[in-house]
């Protein structure tokens, strides 16, 4: 199953699977969990990833009657926390939420302390927070993606796009865009989305593929113009904004996803148990409300479907990273 086909609200199909899985697996692991679960977030508190984990984790704690403890282990572009989980006991009591870096970092870094494919058991995709191409209206005249393409072609190499750093989904969105259109736009990397957005608003850079949750307030205030979202479907947070594919670049898709992994040797029945619990948690009203604020699209997937999508994503980004010779910061 392709990743972009998973981008949707949690369906009745997955909820039914979750319910059946819960009943079948809970009989096998009646005592699990009988102690706190550590949920590692490999980035600092406050971002979308952290908010998603805390929202879902609260529901898991209620369900299990055990604390689900969110631990932020930031560093090395997310690799520090991910590596910690790879080397943790495979007993179902340590898991990590991470993102597209799980499939791109193996192609970006010459040496990793872990193998993103072999050292982990995919549990479930959780959500996608679409990126959105936004431009500073005082610097860029284009009101549509086709207009932007025309404008860039008229002055190749003159316009710039900001990113949160080399190899981030925001950067890859820009590289995929220039690769598919043949446009010459200068990439200006920053250390984080905050300073990049600040310079975009100030006119130091012309455009950016920022997350919907970050860019939406500025678009609504008229400070930025939105030209397209990177996902295969329009964002429920900004439904008036077309996808980049429908706005002028057919086939363009980048889905900044968040998913859960456990160490590779975790028993399959525990993985399925946690999968069912995560999907059930995402059906809760409180979680849906929080996701809406974040601009997140909830997803339900089996571990098998998640694993399949990871392989497809890895091949896609390996090709682009090599083509563009993308190097980490």
pLDDT in tens, 9-18: 334 344 444 4
Task: Tell me which residue of 324, 56, 14, 16 sits closest to 184, measured CA to CA.
Answer: 324
Tell me what pLDDT residue 51 has: 94
Asked if pLDDT for residue 44 goes beyond 90, the answer is: no
CA separation, residue 41 to residues 45, 53, 99, 266, 319 (Å)? 8, 8, 10, 19, 28
Q: Does domain 3-128+256-324 have CATH number 3.30.160.100?
A: no
CB distance 128 to 299 below 8 Å:
yes
Contact indicator for 38, 94 with CB cutoff of 8 Å: yes
Q: Is the pLDDT of residue 136 over 70?
A: yes
**Tokens 């999508």 map to which residue?**
309
Alpha helices for 65-192 (secondary structure H): 79-86, 101-108, 145-154, 169-181
Q: What pLDDT digit, counting tens, does each position of 298-327 carry?
A: 987 999 999 999 999 999 999 999 999 998
Question: Which tens digits make up the pLDDT trace of 224-262?
Answer: 999 999 999 999 999 999 999 999 999 999 999 999 999
Q: Distance (Å, rounded) from C-alpha 18 to C-alpha 68?
A: 19
What pTM, to 2 d.p., does this model score?
A: 0.86
Query: In degrees rounded to 5, what are phi and psi of residue 208?
Result: -165, 145
Would you say 121 and 304 are in contact if contact means Cβ atoms under 8 Å apart?
no
Average pLDDT over residues 78-96: 96
What's the per-residue H, E or C state across 44-87?
Answer: CCCCHHHHHHHHHHHHHHHHHCCCEEEEECCCHHHHHHHHHHHC
Query: Would you say domain 131-247 falls under CATH 3.30.70.2740?
Result: no
At residue 50 the predicted structure's pLDDT band, cuts being 50, 70 and 90, is: very high
The reply to whether domains 3-128+256-324 and 131-247 share a CATH topology is yes
Could you tell me the two tokens for 70?
Answer: 């969110």
> Alpha-carbon distance 203 to 72, whole Å?
33
For 108-131, what is each residue's pLDDT tens digit? Answer: 988 889 999 899 999 999 999 999
- Residue whose pair of structure tokens reads 């670049």 in the numeric block: 249
The ranges assigned to domains in the chain are: 3-128+256-324, 131-247
């Amino acid at each position: 199953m392709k990743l972009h086909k998973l981008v949707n609200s949690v369906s009745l199909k997955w909820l039914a699977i979750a319910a059946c899985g819960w009943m079948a697996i809970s009989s096998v692991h009646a005592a699990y969990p009988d102690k706190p679960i550590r949920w590692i977030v490999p980035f600092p508190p406050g971002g979308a990833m952290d908010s998603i984990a805390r929202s879902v984790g609260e529901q898991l704690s209620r369900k299990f009657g055990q604390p689900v403890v969110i631990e932020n282990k930031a560093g090395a572009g997310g690799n520090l926390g991910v590596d910690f989980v790879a080397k943790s006991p495979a007993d179902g009591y340590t898991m990590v939420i991470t993102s597209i870096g799980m499939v791109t970092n193996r192609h970006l870094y010459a040496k990793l302390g872990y193998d993103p494919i072999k050292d982990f058991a995919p549990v479930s995709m959780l959500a996608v927070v679409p990126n959105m191409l936004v431009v500073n209206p005082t610097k860029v005249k284009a009101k549509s993606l086709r207009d932007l393409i025309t404008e860039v072609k008229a002055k190749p190499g003159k316009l710039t796009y900001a990113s949160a750093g080399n190899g981030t989904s925001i950067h890859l969105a820009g590289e995929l865009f220039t690769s598919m259109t043949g446009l010459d736009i200068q990439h200006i990397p920053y250390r984080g989305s905050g300073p990049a957005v600040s310079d975009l608003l100030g006119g130091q850079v012309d455009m950016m593929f920022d997350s919907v949750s970050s860019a939406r307030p500025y678009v609504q205030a008229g400070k930025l113009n939105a030209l397209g979202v990177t996902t295969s479907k329009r964002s429920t947070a900004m439904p008036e904004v077309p996808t980049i594919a429908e706005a002028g670049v057919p086939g363009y898709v980048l889905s900044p996803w968040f998913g859960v992994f456990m160490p590779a040797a975790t028993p399959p029945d525990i993985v399925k148990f946690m999968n069912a619990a995560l999907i059930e948690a995402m059906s809760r009203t409180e979680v849906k409300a929080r996701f809406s604020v974040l601009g997140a699209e909830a997803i339900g997937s089996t571990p098998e479907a998640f694993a399949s999508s990871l392989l497809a994503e890895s091949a896609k980004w390996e090709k682009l990273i090599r083509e563009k010779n993308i190097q980490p910061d």
